[in-house]
Every structure is written in C-alpha cells, then in structure tokens.
Chains A and B, each alone.
Chain A
C-alpha cells in the first residue's frame, strides 16, 4: 500500500520535536516505532502532511534506576524493556508484559511511549502501567509535567496528552517478584482480548485490566475484595476476580462478545493474582 504524500522531519532533541509540532499543529503526526501510524498511513486512514520522527532521539532511549523508581525513556523499545536486567531485577512486571507484545519484529521497533500515546484499548502495557501506578512525564511547549497512570488513559485512543505534547519518560516503582501479567490473545492480531496485570505489595493487591473496555482500568472492586488479606485463599481470589469487569462496559466485536470479554477478565485476573502470589 502506498501512503499519501507527506514531509518527513527527524528532530535530534525533544525541544526540536516540540518546536516542529508547534509549527505544524494538526497537520503533523508523531512517529515513534511506527507500528500504529505507518499501517494507518499505508491504508490512507491517516494522511498527515508532516511526520515528526522522534524514534531516533537517543536521549529518550534508556532504562535506569532513579530515586527508588525505574525510569524508562519513551523511545525504549519493547525488546529493550523485555530484556532489561534492571527491570527484570527491580520491577519485573513491565518486562514480562513487554514479552507478550506482538512478535520479535514488533518488539524490536515498537516503543513504550508510542504504545501508550496511541492508547489502543487492547494494548498490553496499560494493564501493567495502571497496576504499577506508574508516572508518565510529558513534554510540551509549556515545559514538562507529570501525569499519574490513572489520569493518563482518558477514553478509546484518547490520553491526557495535549496537542504538541509528547511522552518523554515513564517511571515505575521497584516491586518484589510478586507480579504477573496474564493475557488471552485476540487470535488474529495478538492484542489482548483481556489482559490482567497484578502487583502484590505490602499495601495490598493492585490489578490493571486491558482489552476489555474502551480504556484500560484498575479493577478496584477486585482490589477492595482482597483488601487486608495478605495471603488470600484460592476461593477468596476467585470471588474477588468475579468483580474484574464490575462497572465497565465491555467492548464487542467479531472477536469476542461483551460477556466473553468480561469472563476472560475474570479468568486472567484470577490467574494473574494466583501467579503473582506464588512468586512471592
């Protein structure tokens, strides 16, 4: 397929990128790893006049420890996250989640910042990002700001990003080993029909769910049902997991009914919590 004509800009710094976006406004689209934008352009569903390629801004590609958290540059690829020794040792959920994305080619090109900014309702990261209570740093014409994961996902393909803003960093807390991501794949795309990420900490169990609704969400009803239980029984976990889709309106498409998505949310929530606990 052949995209419509466009200009290609490759800024070397974040400031240059922001300036280009400010200059071109709605006519510009940000290109990171290209796994959402380029297919859309090839199908001519997206026809930006200017493509601003931030994928080669080297300063945005890193994983490092910073004041008790792990900071990840927005242009870090899924493969780099999956294979990061720092993440595997200090916050393994994100590395495990990245290993579920697409195939090796996708993981070698796709970036965490690109994925979060696109906010596909069935992407894998959002479940983990929510369960980890990550922080997301955005840069724009008026400088930088930090958004909590719970405030970042707004609706289907909509985030807290303002026009002309880009994601620059994601910070996740160090966790123990008691984390897990469980996913049922949509058979064709490999995206999540339902994916559940669980984090067990001293303060309680946190669960993030993706694929089920128009945006990823924290399974608050599950978390509340398990509040105060340090080692919940299988029965308690199963009962709590039955609330995995409480209060959400599940998506419906040719791949799954709302009922089945809600059911898979429950199954994967239960499995993720069980596996996270088993690792502790």
Chain B
C-alpha cells in the first residue's frame, strides 16, 4: 500500500525499464530469431542523380545461399508509394517508390534488395549486382536550386520548389516596417543534422499463411501509425496486421516515419513465405534515415529606438532533400508557428520555400521546427539588443506577456496556455548567480581572455495535439485493468523508446489507484496489446497519453465504487475511496481493499443488477490545445584564443514543464536535449559535397557530443500548470534542445563581441571561431 504522505508522483525514482536495458537483456529487433528467418541487404545508389541503364542480378542470384534478388521492376507495383501525411496546399510531390525506378535521386537511394540465408550471403549478393548508371547533373544546394537555370532534382516536376508557404499574422506587417525607426536584417543558417540514434533502424516481417496475418517488428516510434498507413502500401487489411515496436534504441524523430524498408520487407516476407530480417548498418543510418533542420533565412526586424519590436519578416529556404517522408514539408512550417517565441510581437510575415535537392529527406528531428524558430528569435533578440545598446535581459522582459495575460494569443496564431516567463528568468538568474557571472566575465576579459555569457528564454509547443491541428488524430488511447489478483495493468497507445513512461505511468497509476508501484505493469508498443494509439513524438507521451490513463483510472474507480456500495449494502454516494481502500463512513466500519473488490468483480457471483463483470476501462483523450512549456537557459563559455575551441564553463537551465511526475526523468530529458544542442552549436554537421556525396557517413566524420563535452548542469524548475489536461503537465522531451542552442550560440558570440565578431554560422567550430577572430583582428589593426 502506498504511503499517502509520499506519493510516487513527484519522486525522483530510477526507471523501471532500465535494469533490463543496462544488463543487455532487452529485446531489440535484431535480437529476434524466428524459425526459417532469412536476411535482406540493400544495394544503394553511389550517385546523387543518375539514370539506371541496366541492372544485372544474374550473378547475385547464382551465389550460394541467395534466395532472391529484387529490383524496382519486381516490387514497386506491389508495394505502393511511401506516404507523406503533411497537407500543404499546392504541394508538388515526386512519386516515392520503395525501390528506385529508372533513376536514382540521392546517395543511398535503394536500387535492389537481396535475400539470403544469412546476412553475409546477402551482402555478397548485393556486391555481385551490376548496375549501369548514367550520372546526371546534381542539385546539392537549396539556395542555388531556386535560382533560374539550376538543374532539376526531379525533372518531371519542372521545378525544384515543392511549395511556398506564406503566413501573415497579427497587425499589418507593412505598417510595422513603415513606422519603424530602423530595420535590422540578419541571415541565419540552421545546419543539416543527422539524428544518429544508438540503434539504427531494423525490420523483421513474418507472414502466417494459415491466418493470413502479417506481423512486423520495427525499430519505430510509431507502431500505430504504421498499422494505419502500411495496409495501403502492401495490401494487408489493418486488422490482419500486427506491428510491434520492441525495445527501440532512441529515435529523436528519425523513427517517426514510414520507411520504404518497412513495406519492402513486409512484401518480401509474404512473397517468399518466410520471415525476413533487415537491419540497417550505421552507414545506412547516416545516409538513408531522415536528417533534421537545414533551413536558411533572411530575417528583417522592425524596431523602435526604445527597443520595441514592431514586426518580423522572413523568407526561409528549407532543404527538403529529394523525397517527402512522412512529415517532411510540414516541419519547416512549424518554424513559423513559434517564430515570435515568448514575446509580444505585433506583426509577423513568414514565407517558407521548400526545395528539393539530391539529398536524403529532412523530417522531424528533436524539436522539429521549434529549435529552428527559437534559435532565430533568440539570436535576433541579442542582435537587436546589441545594435540598440539595450541590456539583453531587459529587451526580453520588455516583450514578455504578463502571467495574468494567459491564455495569450500570439500573432503567429497560437494561444499559449499558461506562462510565467519572468519567473523562470528570475530563477535562472538566481541559480546562475548572474551578477557574479557578469563580474567574472568582465574580469576575465580585463585579463585578456575571451569569456562570454549567453541567455535564451524560450517557449515551445508540446503535447501534440488537438486533432484539428494535426495531420490525422492527435488524441491518445489508454486502457487500465485491475486484474483479479489486485495487480494493475496499464496499456498505453504511446510508444516510449527512452522517455521512461513505464515508470512515470506506473507512478500515476500507483498513486491514483492506491497500490504499490511494484503491482503495476505498463504495456506498450504492440498493436495486438495496445489496440489503438497515436504513438510517441512531439513531447506528447505523458501529457496526452498519461491523461488517457488517468481517464481510465477514474472510470475504474467509479465502477468500483458502485460495486463497493453493493457490498456495503448502501449507495455509491456513501462510498469513499482513498489509499487503495473503499469505505462507507457512517454506514459500516467494514473496509474493502482492491484485492477483495477485484475478486468480486471477476468471480461475479454477487454483482449489483446491471453492472458488468470485470474492472477494466479504456479511454481516448482529445486535448483541446497544445501545451506551451517555457524556460530560461544561461550559459557561460571560455574561448581559446589560439585554437578557437569553446569550453562551456557554466550551464544553468530553468525549465517549466508544469508539475514534475519524476524529476529524475525530467532532468534526464533536459540533459539529453542540451547535449544535442552542444553538438549542434559547436561541432555537428551533416555535409554533402557539390556532387551530392555524403561526407559525414560514419562516426569518424560525424561528430556527436561525448561525455567529455558535457558540462556540469545546474537545473532548476518553475511550475506553471496547464489547464489543457488534468495532470497539469506540459511535456519535456524536446525542451532542452529548443532552449539550449541559442543560449550556447549567444554565449560564444558574447565572448567574441570584444573582437567585433557579430555573427557565426552553426556549427561554431574551432576553425570558424579562429577564422572570425583572425578576420576581425586583422580588420581592426588595418
């Protein structure tokens, strides 16, 4: 029985799921061993753009152990097109077949697939396939791609522009610019990034000939969306399709997708009547699992000399890559949704141009649009403050809405649920010991060192989301069952893969039902168990999925009260429930615990008339709005004058995600998010050369942050509940990455400000920093 004085919710508990993961006894896709399993390997294009003249698979098919070799001509008609769920008006989209047709459009484009008795033989077969390519002109740069005369990514589309999306909000943007004292312009580039989850993708598919059912195990964030979308591709009815996301080793948005391989492996399992496994290599993961970001824009801000921002106008070019994956064209439009950040900015006008290039598709990557927007607005706040000589905290405070003004409608068209931006900023200043930090920086500067402080105050969009604002269904489903033994099984439609909901949901269930947490099991990730769901992305799991669980608990308790009243021989309005025990004060001294009540419910010999047996409930929760977590990050850095290397000397983050269910998990999410930002600001970048060749296809060339890059974090919280869900919680999965990128960038630029450096592109590598120092120093001395 839980001690009522110390509820599980709010406790920094270690994660229930961790021991099996740490001990290596979790089951990932590649751990599956099915009888008769065969292995697939994929031949991928070495060219960014080429015509396929001929594919000869004869030698490959003749190799020992090879079961089959298939090209686009063999499978495309049976597999349907890889889907894009984003609805953008006038979107020009290429046909995205699972294997290449007569052309390849990016390095890594799948051309043929070999199936063999073991993975070595499958690779041997791939090597033995002979393809005759005729290389064609390559579009490798999105800005160049929109200029007249550029080669075309998809010649049949007649243009490289997939769409132009314009949004204007608030008051008149023209009037804002007419009445401005000055207009500040700035160009900002958000580099392409590779998500690099620790586990690459993998698919196993098995067709049961007798039942006509197909089971697909995939390292995915979205088993339910796959179950919705794959039937249209492979011709298996939804109710004959079971998708399992077993242990999933990270996703960061990269596994929020329907990939060609999922349909292809499923098709081959049916065609060959054997279970088929495909495991993505690390090199494939770097090349053919979606990339993130890759936006460049010109930003104009209309300001008054007193620092009042009147309007922002932008034109952003988003590099979509060569194909549309599930949400590819929608991600850049999310940037436009929170471009005004946590500020009152009366007028905005945003034009986003989505452009095709011969690269891997971009799509949702941790933060998906919000990191881009936050980086833009937070860099711009510093640019404006510096240009006008206004303190950068002051200019932020000047544009914050007051806590009493929430719900706060922004000129981007959103309504922020709740907020106290001043409170988070004040707490971060206090935790950072701001005045001392500034003194230390100034002392370091006086001693000839390069020292800087950066700030960002952010707001983001979580708990996705209201169905009317989502591509299709933003609700979440849950089911809770009080078993006959008194144990509790909670089933969720979200698909955690690192977020820790086996623990946080158990905390919620244990508290609300009043059982020890050890008696609660949380199930997820298998569409035959969690029948419905909308899965995990957009920091929605706990705020939306957790709420569905709470609704189930409420239903079970209501039903249990009816049954308890019957056993007490009274009416349910006399029954009280607390701490796992039903009582009827004033009626009887008898107490009924869950175990007894559950026994009655399932044995069902003494039920009130009309009451169904059992104690189980399921619910769909439809949120009425997004939630809008916020916070302040403060960073101090030291820059090595000789080498340009940046060292983070202090990191303070105050995040407000509403009430904390498990502070340990919240802090883990924030720490991981900040680590992503450290990588993005200081060294991570996905690089293609002018021929569309990927130069960062492995860890020898793609620099991920390591433990030694991570500073000691000082993490704090303010708690401003939302009214969007009964838990009051907002979501925290992406906040770190959204708040941190501009804070670190602002700190580096503050450190370089005494040298006259006002801008650096991301990532701010040692060479870029060194070059900027050298250039400005040369200019100053000249």
Say whether A209 faces chain B, with CB atoms less than 8 Å apart.
no
Asked if B123 and A188 make an inter-chain contact with CB atoms under 8 angstroms apart, the answer reads: no
Asked if B770 and A260 make an inter-chain contact with CB atoms under 8 angstroms apart, the answer reads: yes
User: How distant is the Cα of A271 from the Cα of B645 in the complex, in angstroms?
Assistant: 15
B interface residues (Cβ-Cβ under 8 A, vs A)? 41, 119-120, 122-124, 127, 281-283, 642-643, 645, 683, 687, 695-696, 699-704, 765-767, 770-771
Say whether A257 faces chain B, with CB atoms less than 8 Å apart.
yes
Asked if A188 and B124 make an inter-chain contact with CB atoms under 8 angstroms apart, the answer reads: no
Q: What 0/1 readout, one digit per residue, does chain A (230-264) give for beta carbons within 8 Å of chain B?
A: 00000000000000000000000011110010011
Say whether A202 faces chain B, with CB atoms less than 8 Å apart.
no
User: How distant is the Cα of A254 from the Cα of B688 in the complex, in angstroms?
Assistant: 10
With a CB–CB cut-off of 8 A, which chain B residues contact A188?
683, 696, 699-704
Q: How far is the CB of B694 from chain A (nearest CB, A)?
A: 11
Say whether A81 faces chain B, with CB atoms less than 8 Å apart.
no
Q: A3-B120, A188-B702 are in contact. List 16 more A-B contacts (CB 8 A).
A: A1-B282, A2-B41, A2-B120, A2-B123, A4-B127, A184-B643, A184-B766, A187-B703, A187-B765, A188-B683, A188-B696, A254-B687, A254-B696, A257-B767, A260-B770, A263-B770
CB contact under 8 A between A267 and B643, given known A1-B283, A4-B124, A43-B283: yes
With a CB–CB cut-off of 8 A, which chain A residues contact B123?
1-2, 4, 44
User: How distant is the Cα of A23 from the Cα of B730 in the complex, in angstroms?
Assistant: 69
With a CB–CB cut-off of 8 A, which chain A residues contact B283?
1, 43
Say whether A5 faces chain B, with CB atoms less than 8 Å apart.
yes
Q: Using CB atoms, name the residue of chain A closest to B774.
A: A263
Q: Per a CB cutoff under 8 Å, which of B122, B701, B766 touches A189?
A: B701
User: How distant is the Cα of A4 from the Cα of B683 in the complex, in angstroms?
Assistant: 34
With a CB–CB cut-off of 8 A, which chain A residues contact B695?
254
Q: How many A-B residue pairs have CB under 8 A?
A: 52
Report A258-280 residues with CB < 8 Å from chain B CB: 260, 263-264, 267, 271
With a CB–CB cut-off of 8 A, which chain A residues contact B282?
1
B282, B283, B643 — which one has the most chain A CB atoms within 10 A of its CB?
Answer: B643
Q: How far is the CB of A191 from chain B (nearest CB, A)?
A: 8
Q: Per a CB cutoff under 8 Å, which of A1, A189, A260 touches B767?
A: A260
With a CB–CB cut-off of 8 A, which chain A residues contact B767?
256-257, 260
Q: Using CB atoms, name the residue of chain A closest to B685.
A: A254
CB contact under 8 A between A264 and B687, given known A1-B283, A257-B767: no
Asked if A187 and B683 make an inter-chain contact with CB atoms under 8 angstroms apart, the answer reads: yes
Could you jot down 14 A-B contacts, CB within 8 Å?
A1-B282, A2-B120, A4-B120, A4-B124, A4-B127, A43-B283, A184-B643, A184-B645, A188-B700, A189-B699, A254-B695, A254-B696, A260-B766, A260-B771
CB contact under 8 A between A267 and B642, given known A2-B120, A260-B770: yes
**Interface range, A side:** 20 to 34
User: How distant is the Cα of A263 from the Cα of B774 in the complex, in angstroms?
Assistant: 11
Q: How far is the CB of A200 from chain B (nearest CB, A)?
A: 21
With a CB–CB cut-off of 8 A, which chain A residues contact B696?
188, 254
Q: Using CB atoms, name the residue of chain B closest to A270.
A: B642
Q: Using CB atoms, name the residue of chain B closest to A188.
A: B703
Report A115-148 residues with CB < 8 Å from chain B CB: none
User: How distant is the Cα of A254 from the Cα of B697 in the complex, in angstroms?
Assistant: 12
A184, A188, A256 — which one has the most chain B CB atoms within 10 A of its CB?
Answer: A188
CB contact under 8 A between A264 and B124, given known A188-B699, A254-B687: no
Q: How far is the CB of B123 from chain A (nearest CB, A)?
A: 5
A2, A44, A267 — which one has the most chain B CB atoms within 10 A of its CB?
Answer: A2
With a CB–CB cut-off of 8 A, which chain A residues contact B683?
187-188
With a CB–CB cut-off of 8 A, which chain A residues contact B41?
2
Asked if B700 and A264 make an inter-chain contact with CB atoms under 8 angstroms apart, the answer reads: no
Asked if B643 and A44 make an inter-chain contact with CB atoms under 8 angstroms apart, the answer reads: no
Q: Using CB atoms, name the residue of chain A closest to B699.
A: A188
Asked if A264 and B127 make an inter-chain contact with CB atoms under 8 angstroms apart, the answer reads: no
Q: Using CB atoms, name the residue of chain B closest to A255.
A: B701
User: How distant is the Cα of A267 from the Cα of B124 in the complex, in angstroms?
Assistant: 48
Q: How far is the CB of A247 from chain B (nearest CB, A)?
A: 22
With a CB–CB cut-off of 8 A, which chain A residues contact B766?
184, 260
With a CB–CB cut-off of 8 A, which chain B residues contact A184?
643, 645, 766
User: How distant is the Cα of A256 from the Cα of B643 in the complex, in angstroms?
Assistant: 12
With a CB–CB cut-off of 8 A, which chain A residues contact B702?
188
Q: How far is the CB of B109 from chain A (nearest CB, A)?
A: 19
Asked if A254 and B643 make an inter-chain contact with CB atoms under 8 angstroms apart, the answer reads: no
Q: What 0/1 readout, one digit per residue, does chain A (196-233) give for beta carbons within 8 Å of chain B?
A: 00000000000000000000000000000000000000
With a CB–CB cut-off of 8 A, which chain B residues contact A44?
123, 127
B119, B701, B702 — which one has the most chain A CB atoms within 10 A of its CB?
Answer: B701
Q: Per a CB cutoff under 8 Å, which of A5, A189, A264 touches B643?
A: A264
User: How distant is the Cα of A254 from the Cα of B693 in the complex, in angstroms?
Assistant: 13
User: How distant is the Cα of A267 from the Cα of B701 in the complex, in angstroms?
Assistant: 23
User: How distant is the Cα of A184 from the Cα of B281 in the complex, in angstroms?
Assistant: 30
With a CB–CB cut-off of 8 A, which chain A residues contact B700?
188-189
With a CB–CB cut-off of 8 A, which chain A residues contact B281?
1
With a CB–CB cut-off of 8 A, which chain B residues contact A264?
643
CB contact under 8 A between A254 and B127, given known A2-B119, A184-B643, A267-B643: no
User: How distant is the Cα of A112 from the Cα of B767 in the complex, in angstroms?
Assistant: 30
User: How distant is the Cα of A105 from the Cα of B50 in the complex, in angstroms?
Assistant: 41
Q: How far is the CB of B648 from chain A (nearest CB, A)?
A: 15
Q: How far is the CB of A195 from chain B (nearest CB, A)?
A: 13
A4, A44, A189, A260 — which one has the most chain B CB atoms within 10 A of its CB?
Answer: A260
User: How distant is the Cα of A188 from the Cα of B702 in the complex, in angstroms?
Assistant: 6
Q: How far is the CB of B158 from chain A (nearest CB, A)?
A: 33
Q: Using CB atoms, name the residue of chain B closest to A267.
A: B642
